[in-house]
Amino acid sequence: MDEAVTLSEIIIRLVLSVFVATIIGYDREHKNRPAGIKTHVLVCVGACVIALLQKKIGYDAVQLALAQPKVAGIIRADEARLIAQVVSGIGFLGAGTILVQHRTVLGLTTAASLWAVAGIGLALGMGNYEIGIAGAITVILVLAFSKRLIQVHPMKKLEIQYKHKLETKEFIQKYFEEHHITVMNVNFTVKQDSNNSIYTNIYDIEVPHSLNYADIIEDISLNKNIMKIQMVSI
């Protein structure tokens, strides 16, 4: 039978919730994501409070059944009821962090981290310290090191419009080689105007994580023959 949660135990669980949520929220805020430290802390603490409340309801139900055996058969205290509402209800907050820009979805990792933080708060609130702390460490490691451990070079489309075909193509190819950018495919079009031929290449490229897309565009745009350069959604 569960025992009543003391005030000191409540404080420990809430402090732990604040601590682990701050670390996870710091990663998201440091990377300038929609939900930062405060949001993660509030979600984790809120989940912890609900779990504590659920524990209290369960404890009170047991005490009432012991004090009044005649009503024991009609007393119901489902310890998963409020927790289930947290798990499903956190979805609206996660959805608010997901943005769609130019057919690119942003914020999925932040939404997932909020959902995970809610689970951590529930575990700590229920007094399952091993689950809560182990879960927090796992989430922190995934956010901090997953990209370093699993090297995935994202594919992008780069549209470059230029003049003076041979000279400029040589410059672009040399830039790609020097920066270890892999060209998977290229589409080529040409447009004639009164003075020059305007060439447009659309490259499917894989870019190392050490490179920033903004730097690539800025570097290539410095060439005097480049008329237009932009990333295109796949």
pLDDT, one tens digit per residue, over 179-228 is: 988 888 899 888 877 677 888 999 988 888 778 788 889 999 999 999 99
Ranked by mean pLDDT, which of 21-25, 29-33, 61-65, 168-172 comes out on top? Answer: 168-172
**What is the rounded distance in angstroms from the CA atom of residue 92 to the CA atom of residue 160?**
40
Question: Comparing 77 with 113, which gets the higher pLDDT?
Answer: 113
What pTM value is reported for the model? 0.60
Question: Given CA atoms 101, 105, 109, 115 in this order, what sign does their dihedral have?
Answer: positive
Q: How many other CB atoms are found less than 10 A from the CB of residue 211? A: 14
At residue 108, the pLDDT reads 75
pLDDT of residue 1: 46
| Four-CA torsion 87, 93, 99, 104, nearest 10 degrees | -10
Q: Is 3 in contact with 59 (CB distance < 8 Å)?
A: yes
**Tokens standing for 224?**
């005097």
First to last CA, the chain: 57
Task: Give the model's pLDDT for residue 57.
Answer: 73
What mean pLDDT do residues 34-52 have?
84
Q: How many CB atoms lie within 10 A of CB 35?
A: 22
Distance CA 2, CA 96 (A): 37
Average pLDDT, the chain: 80
The CATH architecture to which 155-232 belongs is 2-Layer Sandwich (3.30)
Question: DSSP 3-state assignment of 225?
Answer: coil
What is the residue extent of each domain of the chain? 7-149, 155-232
pLDDT band at 145 (very low <50, low <70, confident <90, very high): confident
